[in-house]
Structure 1
Amino acid sequence: MTSSYGLRGRAAVVTGATRGIGWAVARALADAGARVCVSARDPDRVRRAAGELDGVGLAGDVGDPGHPRKLTELCLDAFGRLDVLVNNAATNQPYGPLMDADPGAWREAFTVNVEAPLRLVQCAWRGWMREHGGVVVNICTEGAGHVGPDVGAYGTSKAALLHLTRQLAGELGPGVRVNSVSPGLVRTEMARFVWEPGEGEIAAALPLGRIGEPEDVARAVVWLCSEEAKWITGADLLVDGGTSVRRARIAPQGARGTARPAPTTPTRPPA
């Protein structure tokens, strides 16, 4: 995927960057000219991703308090700057009803989905962005605005990340812009058990007629990181194919008067 948004000379950190949305974002940033530092848990995947992007990478868990500092230092040592931070890594555990949620797993959801992005922003701010400016994009979810079965911890933590996005935008401007992107159902391996059995029905209920691809989200992220979006901060960009408005869709000619309920909002599978 090529991009018309020039980021040549910029350096970017992307977490959860070796598959799915994170990998698409890393590739899109590289295509736009940025030098990319990737992070994920699997060392082999990190090595392959960094090599393919002609970048650098660090294997580790973003929930580890020391990982954000090491990742920031790696980017600064390799590229001499850190202009873009994309917080994509996340966990959807504990998966299931909140009444059954293990307290340790609940805390882990907030450690990975909320605390880790904050730590990474703090490190990027202290290491580069305070003096030179930059852009932060947090990957949230369309589901953060409503409830759904089995994803209470995930949705609650992502709702907190949405508020964190706005709070940081207010605190770090004008030098640093902070926004979020909230995808709907995207064709990733992680979500295969949702979209593969019922893709046709789900797609038919969406105004744009298909589920998302990782590249759909990546394009939105790159745009927010570019100068084209330089007067946007504290915003959440829905990239959901119209999921949030699907109940208003007009039935096709000849099918009007036939009630067909929209499918429930897809949930994410266990990690």
Structure 2
Amino acid sequence: MVLAPHPNPTAPVLSHFDLTGKTALVTGGSRGIGLEVARGLSEAGAKVAITYSSTPSAEAAQIASSISFANGGRPFKAYKCNVRSRVDVDSVFASVIEELGDGKLDIVVANAGIAEHIPAQEYPEDKFREMFDVNVNGAFWTAQAAARVFERQWKEGGEDTPHRGSLIFTASVSATLVNVPQKQAAYNASKAALVHLSKSLAVEWVDFMRVNCVSPGFIETDMLLVHPEEWRKQWFDMIPGRRLCKAAELKGSYVYLASDASSYMTGADLIIDGGYTLP
């Protein structure tokens, strides 16, 4: 097993981050972190596809159109997808490769996820299963689809081809610690599963792809801002950085993991949390 080398490590450093000619797919890319990640990948030169589930189709199409326009007409498309369905995921991958990637795919971000706060003793069976069905199973179906594509491309290009796929999971600091005061054992466990899944796949699939995680802390998204004010005040007291993170502050980290700049990084979990996990 050989990790693909950087194609030109002595080139000027900014060129290492260039995604021109690459095709990327971001699940859950119509809002929050996923939207800013997709925007960043497009800004770095990639053709980008996003998936959405609950966002109205017209809104998703408008998001895609506006980001494409902002980046000189660079291709950017939105696809409706239920990541809990392996059939749905496989179908979207096939469409993206045919319609956007000219037969290729280079970057996949498994970002789609949900969060709920329910005391563990009271957790309904259907809700617990749904949490894992989206956050873990959905991410795994996405990873499987990516692996099949990346392995095929590696074999077709010859085993010495240096350009191989990058898969990035969106996990959470909740994989590392137990957030308080919210009660979210199921969410925490689902994100911890993602981190170890990424490490396992990084080893198993090292020949044809890199696999890494990003674990954000408290990010200023709609998902977070619905929580009670007293919770947010407690979080601020626990974060050395003393503020929430803007979702757009994360996009550079995903571009790094998607690009040749991180060519020797696989199996890593980038914790981006303003120091929250340190004390």
Short-chain TM bin? 0.7 to 0.9
1:91 correspondence with 2:114? yes
Residues 13 and 86, structure 1, Cα contact 8 Å, conserved in 2 = yes
SS of residue matched to 1:244: coil
Corresponding residue for 2:59?
45
Map Cα deviations across residues 159-211 of structure 1 (whole Å, 9 max, x no partner).
11111101110111032000000000011111113486676664464333321
Map Cα deviations across residues 108-158 of structure 1 (whole Å, 9 max, x no partner).
111111111111121122234443320000000001122344211111111
Residues 204 and 210, structure 1, Cα contact 8 Å, conserved in 2 = no
| 1:1-271 to 2 correspondences below 5 Å | 5-41=17-53, 42=55, 43-54=57-68, 55-78=76-99, 79-80=101-102, 81-93=104-116, 95-132=117-154, 133-148=164-179, 149-194=182-227, 202-203=235-236, 205-245=238-278, 247=279
Residues 150 and 209, structure 2, Cα contact 8 Å, conserved in 1 = no
Map Cα deviations across residues 12-35 of structure 1 (whole Å, 9 max, x no partner).
000111111010000000000000
- Once residues 195 and 176 of structure 1 are traced to their aligned partners in structure 2, the CA distance between those partners, rounded to angstroms, is 41
Question: With structure 2 as the length reference, what TM-score do the two structures score?
Answer: 0.81
Deviates more, 1:5-14 or 1:52-61: 52-61
The CA deviation at 1:212 is 0.6
**Root mean square deviation, CA, Å:** 2.0
The CA deviation at 1:90 is 0.4
The CA deviation at 1:234 is 0.4
SS of residue matched to 2:274: coil
Letter in 1 for 2:67: L
The sequence identity of aligned pairs, in percent, is 31
SS of residue matched to 1:36: strand
Letter in 2 for 1:68: V
Deviates more, 1:63-72 or 1:186-195: 186-195
Residues 187 and 195, structure 1, Cα contact 8 Å, conserved in 2 = no
Residues 88 and 139, structure 1, Cα contact 8 Å, conserved in 2 = yes
Inter-CA distance 196–23: structure 2 relative to 1 (3 Å threshold):
farther
- Once residues 45 and 62 of structure 1 are traced to their aligned partners in structure 2, the CA distance between those partners, rounded to angstroms, is 19
Deviates more, 1:198-207 or 1:220-229: 198-207
- Once residues 156 and 206 of structure 1 are traced to their aligned partners in structure 2, the CA distance between those partners, rounded to angstroms, is 22
SS of residue matched to 1:13: strand
Residues 83 and 141, structure 2, Cα contact 8 Å, conserved in 1 = no
Inter-CA distance 97–199: structure 2 relative to 1 (3 Å threshold):
closer
Letter in 1 for 2:65: G
Q: How many matched pairs?
A: 243
- Once residues 218 and 199 of structure 1 are traced to their aligned partners in structure 2, the CA distance between those partners, rounded to angstroms, is 23
Question: With structure 1 as the length reference, what TM-score do the two structures score?
Answer: 0.83
The CA deviation at 1:68 is 0.9
- Once residues 76 and 85 of structure 1 are traced to their aligned partners in structure 2, the CA distance between those partners, rounded to angstroms, is 12
Residues 18 and 40, structure 1, Cα contact 8 Å, conserved in 2 = yes
Deviates more, 1:183-192 or 1:214-223: 214-223
Structure 2: unaligned runs, 5 residues or longer? 1-13, 69-75, 155-163
Residues 17 and 40, structure 1, Cα contact 8 Å, conserved in 2 = yes
Map Cα deviations across residues 41-64 of structure 1 (whole Å, 9 max, x no partner).
122232122222331221132112
Map Cα deviations across residues 82-125 of structure 1 (whole Å, 9 max, x no partner).
110001110124x3111111112211111111111111121122
